[in-house]
């Protein structure tokens, strides 16, 4: 008789977005004429830019011709894309990463969920609270998190690093020593980030205690401030302690097109064992490459035309972020994020719970956001709005919140 992976049964179930969808559906049914604006889910709304669309079309044409047809992609990604990544994301920032340290994938979600596979099952993870849920859930599935306490909403074997207004949403070095440290800056959901010197402290700490940082830089394109690192490898010593995960979703609108990459420096070792080699082995066995068409479109991101068009597209969302941030501040709310990230994190007024505020906003402003408590216990009392809507809807939503 087969058995299941019982770790899956431990998952408390992420009902966040389905609960939101159900509440919105019920409200719509009772109020069919209401025009509801969603600033909830972190998906983009603007179409792919012309440079990318044109390259998609021409890559499809290549697939239609026997002379240029491509079958399986190289496991680690096409050389043209890995070189463009190295040149633009790293060399241009003074960071020395080589093409064989880049692993092209179908996105940051899969990479951030799968990367734990190359680490020992006894490794202890540390995560920010609130947090992008994938980091914890993937470790639950692997049996690395102990038991779940529904009352505290915490796992016994996970080190939580609260990020609240009290510490300016920047995690503090944990008292207990972790083996794996998940960091995401600019952060989802808080929209905050840390400075390069602060990130350097994490790198120094990880090197000192022998921990590995898994650095999710999915929102790197939204950084506007000078003293914020775009890559963890801008910090000295990061190549011996950090893996970096990147995405094409939010800088280039690939949420539905799927492309990302992970960087594992060859200097990152456990004793004599190279993590780069382990991930190459894992990638080669379990992944058959991102599609040629998509990788070709990904390379268009790095052309002059692509860069100019994407700067404008990211700027469009950044303008939304400013509209939300300024509007809420003007209305008297306590707001953070939005400056280096497409997320605005607000304190709920009058000590309201995140869900009560969700209901209030839906009923009185007809705006949907995301309750902070859905990202972890330290998110209680906070609420997330995203800048990924259309400009018109964003302006309208903020006006409604102001008038609420």
Number of residues that this document lists for the chain: 404
- Who contacts 392 (Cβ-Cβ below 8 Å, separation ≥6)? none
Nearer to ligand PLP, 86 or 218 (CB): 218
Nearer to ligand PLP, 258 or 366 (CB): 258
Nearer to ligand PLP, 119 or 254 (CB): 254
Angle formed at CA 95 by CA 274 and CA 225, multiple of 5 degrees: 125
Phi-psi label, residue 94: left if phi above 0, alpha if psi -120 to 50, beta otherwise: left
Spatial CA neighbour of 20 closest among 45, 33, 39 = 39
Q: Shortest Cβ distance from residue 324 to ligand PLP (Å)?
A: 17
50, 309 contact by CB (below 8 A): yes
Q: Shortest Cβ distance from residue 65 to ligand PLP (Å)?
A: 30
113, 142 contact by CB (below 8 A): no
Residue 323's SS3 state is: helix
DSSP 8-state secondary structure symbol assigned to residue 89: I
Distance CA 151, CA 10 (A): 15
- Who contacts 116 (Cβ-Cβ below 8 Å, separation ≥6)? 123, 125, 138, 139, 142, 144, 180
- Positions touching ligand PLP (CB under 6 A) are 42, 107-109, 112, 132, 184, 188, 216, 218, 247, 249, 255, 260
Distance of CA 71 to the CA centre of its chain: 30
Q: Shortest Cβ distance from residue 250 to ligand PLP (Å)?
A: 7
Distance CA 294, CA 254 (A): 9
Nearer to ligand PLP, 260 or 265 (CB): 260
Distance CA 280, CA 157 (A): 29
Nearer to ligand PLP, 190 or 309 (CB): 190
Q: Shortest Cβ distance from residue 365 to ligand PLP (Å)?
A: 24
Q: Shortest Cβ distance from residue 109 to ligand PLP (Å)?
A: 3
Q: Shortest Cβ distance from residue 341 to ligand PLP (Å)?
A: 10
Q: Shortest Cβ distance from residue 343 to ligand PLP (Å)?
A: 9
Q: Shortest Cβ distance from residue 105 to ligand PLP (Å)?
A: 8
49, 306 contact by CB (below 8 A): yes
Distance CA 365, CA 397 (A): 7
**Reading across the β-sheet that carries 102-105, which strands appear in turn?**
102-105, 260-263, 242-247, 212-216, 180-184, 125-129, 158-162
Nearer to ligand PLP, 45 or 353 (CB): 45
Nearer to ligand PLP, 269 or 286 (CB): 286
Q: Shortest Cβ distance from residue 127 to ligand PLP (Å)?
A: 12
Q: Shortest Cβ distance from residue 382 to ligand PLP (Å)?
A: 16
Nearer to ligand PLP, 244 or 327 (CB): 244
Nearer to ligand PLP, 296 or 365 (CB): 296
Q: Give the up-direction half-sphere exposure of residue 369: CA atoms within 13 A in the CB hemisphere.
A: 33
Nearer to ligand PLP, 134 or 339 (CB): 134
Strand 158-162 relative to strand 154-155: parallel, antiparallel, unpaired?
unpaired
End-to-end CA distance of the chain: give it in Å, rounded.
59
């Amino acid at each position: 008789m087969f058995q299941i992976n019982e770790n899956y049964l431990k998952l408390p179930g992420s009902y966040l977005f389905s609960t939101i969808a159900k509440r919105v559906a019920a409200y719509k049914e009772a109020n069919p004429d209401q025009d509801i604006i969603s600033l909830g889910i972190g998906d983009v709304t603007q179409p792919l830019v012309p440079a990318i669309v044109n390259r998609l079309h021409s890559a499809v044409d290549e697939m239609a011709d026997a002379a240029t047809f491509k079958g399986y992609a190289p496991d680690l990604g096409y050389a043209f894309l890995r070189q463009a990544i190295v040149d633009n994301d790293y060399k241009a920032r003074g960071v020395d990463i080589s093409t064989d340290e880049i692993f092209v994938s179908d996105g940051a979600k899969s990479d951030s969920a799968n990367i734990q596979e190359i680490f020992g099952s006894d490794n202890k993870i540390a995560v920010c609270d609130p947090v992008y849920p994938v980091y914890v859930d993937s470790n639950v599935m692997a049996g690395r998190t102990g038991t779940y306490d529904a009352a505290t909403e915490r796992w016994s074997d996970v080190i939580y690093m609260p990020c609240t207004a009290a510490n300016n949403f920047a995690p503090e070095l944990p008292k207990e020593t972790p083996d794996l440290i998940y960091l995401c800056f600019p952060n989802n959901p808080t929209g905050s980030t840390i400075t390069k010197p602060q990130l350097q402290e994490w790198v120094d700490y990880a090197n000192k205690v022998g921990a590995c940082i898994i650095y999710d830089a999915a929102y790197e394109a939204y950084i506007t401030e000078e003293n914020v690192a775009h890559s963890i490898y801008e910090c000295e010593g990061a190549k011996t302690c950090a893996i970096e995960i990147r995405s094409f979703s939010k800088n280039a609108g690939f949420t539905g097109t799927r492309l990302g990459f992970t960087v594992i420096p060859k200097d990152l070792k456990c004793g004599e064992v190279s993590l780069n080699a382990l991930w190459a082995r894992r990638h080669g066995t379990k992944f058959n490459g991102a599609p040629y068409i998509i990788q070709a479109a990904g390379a268009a991101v790095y052309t002059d035309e692509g860069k100019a068009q994407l700067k404008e597209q990211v700027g469009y969302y950044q303008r939304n972020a400013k509209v939300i941030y300024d509007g809420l501040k003007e209305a008297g709310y306590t707001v953070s994020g939005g400056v280096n990230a497409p997320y605005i994190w607000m304190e709920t007024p009058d000590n309201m719970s995140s869900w009560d505020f969700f209901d209030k906003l839906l009923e009185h402003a007809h705006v949907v956001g995301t309750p902070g408590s859905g990202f972890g216990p330290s998110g209680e009392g906070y609420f997330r709005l995203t800048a990924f809507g259309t400009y018109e809807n964003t302006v309208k939503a903020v006006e409604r919140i102001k008038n609420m």
